[in-house]
Amino acid sequence: MVDWLQQVLGNNWKITPAGGLTGDAYIAEKDHERLFLKRNSSPFLAVLSAEGIVPKLIWTRRMYNGDVITAQEWVKGRDLNRADMQHYQVAELLHKIHHSSELLHMLMRLGKKPVTSDDALMMIKERIASSLEIAENSDVRLALTYLDLLLPITREQKLVVCHCDLNHNNLLLTDEGNLFLIDWENAMIADPITDYGMILKWYVPRENWDDWLKEYGVTKDKNLIKRMYWYLLLDTLHYLSWHDERREPFKVIDRLKDLRELNEHMSTLV
């Protein structure tokens, strides 16, 4: 792959792997210029760049083997830490994403279909059923009971573009103070609480939820909190199944602990 990139850019560029799980990202350097290169990024990257949500897209090139290489501006900055996730800039950026008709239209043009809560529940039930040990776990069964019970309040919500992986490491704050949200491989069209519920639960102290939601642009009510925990349960079940499929027993134990805590919170809401 590095050899192919060298042919595209020229031998005067130094190309090094950028890390990551897929191994498809690289850094190219020449003189004082740096580019972030990635193989087979989604065409969605272009509209994300135009909207100022990811670093600027410089060029896109198709290689002779069919791979598509994208080059983005390299920006100086740092990942957000856990405390940073409470900042109003995160709420503002999410509001911008969730209310962007351009992002929504592009994702639909790329073939993404809206995922309703009924769809999501059906998919996780099918996934759990494939593992007898997971399906028979008492915490899993209780979580599914709550998901069935509260399904009606999750319906008829406006479905928008969601990032669906709001880990603090996916948010980049530049030295100039601009905030970018990167790694859009898991994007889907869903209830926006999929995104901001994750931030509230894992990053924002409960006493600050009202203020954070005000910055985002919604008012907290009991059904909103129930919806939030509904999607948190769903997300935890997906990760639980994922680790089980990969035969990672210690990760499964961690996810079961998360599930038990969420079930306890849900018991106070139903």
Based on the fold, state whether residues 70 and 101 are members of the same structural domain.
no
pLDDT over threshold 90, residue 222: no
67-102 in b/e form (b: 16+ CB < 10 A) is eebbbbebbebeebeeebbbbebbbebbbebbebee
Interatomic CA distance for residues 1 and 15, integer angstroms: 10
Give the number of domains in the chain: 2
State the pLDDT at residue 1. 57
Residue 131 shares a structural domain with residue 252: yes
Last residue of a domain, one of 74, 96, 111: 74
Residue 165 a catalytic site member: yes
CATH number at residue 59: 3.30.200
**Boundary residue ending a domain (25, 50, 74):** 74
Q: What is the dihedral of CA 198, 199, 205, 208, to 10 degrees?
A: -120
pLDDT band at 14 (very low <50, low <70, confident <90, very high): confident
d(CA 115, CA 249): 29
| pLDDT surpassing 90 at residue 15 | no
Burial of 178 (0-12, 13-18, 19+ CB in 10 A): middle
User: 234 and 164: one domain?
Assistant: yes
- Give Cα separations from 93 to 53, 80, 162, 181 (angstroms): 8, 14, 12, 8
Average predicted confidence (pLDDT) for the chain: 91
Q: What is the pLDDT of residue 221?
A: 85
Residues 35 and 108 in one domain: no
CATH of the domain at 224: 3.90.1200.10
pLDDT, residue 174, reads: 95
Question: Average of pLDDT values for 227-234?
Answer: 97
- Domain-ending residue, one of 40, 74, 108: 74
Average pLDDT, integer, range 14-43: 79
Burial level of 129, CB count in 10 A (0-12/13-18/19+)? exposed
Catalytic residue from among 24, 67, 84, 165: 165
Residue 70 shares a structural domain with residue 87: no
- Which pLDDT belongs to residue 4? 64
Task: Taking residues 53-74, report their average pLDDT.
Answer: 87
> Residue 70: helix, strand or coil by DSSP?
strand
Residue 233 and residue 176 share a domain: yes
* Domain encompassing residue 23: 2-74
- 91: which strand partners? none
**For 115-137, what is each residue's pLDDT tens digit?**
999 999 999 999 999 999 999 99
Q: Are residues 70 and 134 in the same domain?
A: no
pTM summary value: 0.88
Mean pLDDT of all residues in 132-159: 96
Dihedral (CA of 17, 22, 24, 25) sign: negative
Q: Is the pLDDT assigned to residue 21 strictly greater than 60?
A: no
Together in a domain, 33 and 58: yes
pLDDT of 96 > 90? The answer is yes
